[in-house]
């Protein structure tokens, strides 16, 4: 951002005139300087005339500020026809006396024949039009045509200053367009010095892809964004994306949204992604990236939420067909209006145009989730640094809007370290990173999934096998009992062997249990017999002891009786 010389803390704020052009008012922090001239310069086809026309039309139609548009290169009929496709009814605005439209034809040879050349006639003509509609806005399109016949730079400079001063004296907010010079912003190189605000439009071609950008070169008395901003011309006119306004001030939601796959939810502390977070799904070709993204889109729509699916590789119909093969019916969500598929080749536009178009689609649909599948293809229209900047802007924009974003990225096959990086370089910006890969063993190629990171939540460190079938998507535990990771038929065969071994162990254990039980019963029977034998012995011993006691008692009694008998004698 830049601060003008008269924008100190004690100075009054500069009056602004809203343009009505999407994004431009935000970049200029309220619009163009009211009552002052603004120069719009750029090469042919950069959008100068459209910006000037949109400034006049939107002012008259939306802001109740009549305007005058004076052209030096196109006739009234050509201008009316050119902007009709944008929904601008110039004829209607002229008929309602909201806009005055004029074409001034200047032929250099005629000027040379008649002699001196000045702007007095222009001032009279323009002043009459301003008075006719009560104009508060004026646009002069193609100013270099006015001064093409001036003989010297001194006269040119004087006439330019005179024109700009006259416009200020009229109290109108003026937009003046001029062609870009070879080494200067404008052909004469003077207009930018006498203008209070200068806007530069650039239309460049890189890798056979054309892109438009806008930059505020200067703005006297006001702060303004100084970066280059993506600009787009579509059926609604000119729009500018004010990237510098996107800052890290978004709120972080604690709410969770399901991934659409129960076992994947379980790996993410049982609840799925954070709402409004950014998710990166990277992996090799055919590993299941798009399938995971589609499962999330299906989950969002099933809950009644809106989802935008941006595809840069497959058509909408192809996506529907492919996902139906794994049990995901996205067609019903498109019919209900909850899912919008937007399929476009990245090479159709520049990166900035894609960015602006995404902003537009999000603004129209207001989705809860956005899927970009894949982001890798953007490398076809920009280098790695440009793609990273564009995707950073996308992530910041979606975070600020509270939209959950899922990006898929193709990684090249290779070692583990190569898989844990992306060509786009946005892995550090995303909140959750899932990695899917194909592994080959036992004559098969199978899919693996694991969570590389997931900020703000506990998450599993386990590797899961990703299974795709006509019943949907599932995750299975990989086999690591042998110390080697086994998937697919090897995992099933190993599980079968493990089950057989476990069954054999259970059977052997059962046999051992039965033998021990039999031996226990034999021993119990023997113990019972011995106990019975012991009881018999104890009974015989008790009987013998009783008999012996009785015998001894009888003997004692006999001896006593014998003693008595002897005493009797």
Residues annotated as part of the active site: 73, 313
**Tokens 């730079």 correspond to what residue?**
153
Two tokens, residue 402: 């509270």
32 and 199 Cβ atoms separated by less than 8 Å: no
Two tokens, residue 154: 């001194």
**Tokens 């009229």 correspond to what residue?**
170
Task: Give, to the nearest 10 degrees, the angle between helix 76-84 and helix 48-62.
Answer: 80
Tally of residues, the chain = 569
Q: Which candidate, 206, 200, 207, 248, places its Cα nearest to that of 228?
A: 200
Q: How many CA atoms lie within 13 A of 518 on its CB side?
A: 6
- Rounded-to-integer distance, Cα 498 and Cα 490, Å: 12
The 10 Å Cβ neighbour count of residue 370 is: 26
Q: Which candidate, 289, 295, 494, places its Cα nearest to that of 409?
A: 289
Q: Which candidate, 142, 149, 425, places its Cα nearest to that of 280?
A: 425
- Dmax (CA) for the chain in angstroms is 202
Residue 486 sits at φ, ψ, to 5 deg, of -125, 135
DSSP assignment of 165-187, as one string?
HHHHHTT-EEEEEEE--SSSSSS
Strands 432-441 and 404-410: unpaired
224 and 28 Cβ atoms separated by less than 8 Å: yes
Nearby residues of 562 by Cβ (< 8 Å), 6 or more positions away: none
Task: Please tell me the chain's helix, strand, coil percentages from 3-state DSSP, rounded to the nearest 5.
Answer: 45, 25, 35
> Quick one: 281 exposed, middle or buried, by C-beta within 10 A (0-12, 13-18, 19+)?
buried
- Rounded-to-integer distance, Cα 311 and Cα 358, Å: 12
Give me the helices (H) in 107-170, please. Answer: 108-114, 120-133, 153-169
SS3 386: helix
- Rounded-to-integer distance, Cα 142 and Cα 137, Å: 17
């Amino acid at each position: 951002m830049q601060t003008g010389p008269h924008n100190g803390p004690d100075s009054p704020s500069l009056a602004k005139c809203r343009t009505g052009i999407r994004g431009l008012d935000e970049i200029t922090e309220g619009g163009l300087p009211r009552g002052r001239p603004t120069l719009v310069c750029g090469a042919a086809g950069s959008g100068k005339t459209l910006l000037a026309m949109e400034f006049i039309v939107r002012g008259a139609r939306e802001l109740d500020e009549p305007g005058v548009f004076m052209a030096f290169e196109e006739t009234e009929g050509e201008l009316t026809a050119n902007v009709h496709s944008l929904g601008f009814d110039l004829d209607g605005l002229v008929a309602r006396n909201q806009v005055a439209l004029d074409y001034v034809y200047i032929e250099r040879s005629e000027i040379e024949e008649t002699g001196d050349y000045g702007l007095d006639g222009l001032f009279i003509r323009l002043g009459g039009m301003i008075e006719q509609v009560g104009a508060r806005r004026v646009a002069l399109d193609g100013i270099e045509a006015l001064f093409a016949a001036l003989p010297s730079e001194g006269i040119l400079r004087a006439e330019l200053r005179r024109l700009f001063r006259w416009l200020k004296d009229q109290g109108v907010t003026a937009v003046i367009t001029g062609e870009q010079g070879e080494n200067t912003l404008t052909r004469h190189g003077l207009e930018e010095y006498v203008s209070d605000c200068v806007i530069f439009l650039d239309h460049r071609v890189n890798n056979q892809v054309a892109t438009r950008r806008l930059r505020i070169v200067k703005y006297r008395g006001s702060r303004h964004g100084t970066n280059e901003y993506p600009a787009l011309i579509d059926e609604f006119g000119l729009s500018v994306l004010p990237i510098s306004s996107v800052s890290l001030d978004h709120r972080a939601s604690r709410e969770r949204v399901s991934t659409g796959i129960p076992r994947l939810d379980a790996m993410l502390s049982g609840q799925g992604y954070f709402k409004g977070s950014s998710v990166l799904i990277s992996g090799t070709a055919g590993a299941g990236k798009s399938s995971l993204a589609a499962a999330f889109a299906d989950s969002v729509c099933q809950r009644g939420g809106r989802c935008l699916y941006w595809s840069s590789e497959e058509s909408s119909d192809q996506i529907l067909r492919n996902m139906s093969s794994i049990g995901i019916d996205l067609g019903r969500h498109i019919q209900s209006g909850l899912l919008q598929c937007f399929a476009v080749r990245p090479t159709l536009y520049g990166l900035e145009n894609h960015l602006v178009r995404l902003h537009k689609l999000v603004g129209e649909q207001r989705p809860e989730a956005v899927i970009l599948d894949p982001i890798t293809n953007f490398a076809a229209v920009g280098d790695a640094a440009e793609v990273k900047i564009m995707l950073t802007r996308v992530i910041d924009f979606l975070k600020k809007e509270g939209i959950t974003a899922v990006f898929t990225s193709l990684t090249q096959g290779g070692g583990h370290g190569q898989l844990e990086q992306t060509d786009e370089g946005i892995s550090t910006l995303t909140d959750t990173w899932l990695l899917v890969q194909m592994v080959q063993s036992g004559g098969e190629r199978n899919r693996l999934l694991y969570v590389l990171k997931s900020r703000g939540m506990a998450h599993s460190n386990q590797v899961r096998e990703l299974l795709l079938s006509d019943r949907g998507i599932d995750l299975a535990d990989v086999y690591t009992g042998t110390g080697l990771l086994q998937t697919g038929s090897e995992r099933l065969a190993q599980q079968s062997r493990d089950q057989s071994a476990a069954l054999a162990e259970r059977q052997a254990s059962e046999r051992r249990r039965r033998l021990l039980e039999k031996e226990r019963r034999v021993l119990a029977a023997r113990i019972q017999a011995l106990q019975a034998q012991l009881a018999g012995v104890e009974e015989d011993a008790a009987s013998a002891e009783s008999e012996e006691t009785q015998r001894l008692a009888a003997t004692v009694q006999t001896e006593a009786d014998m003693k008595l008998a002897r005493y009797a004698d």
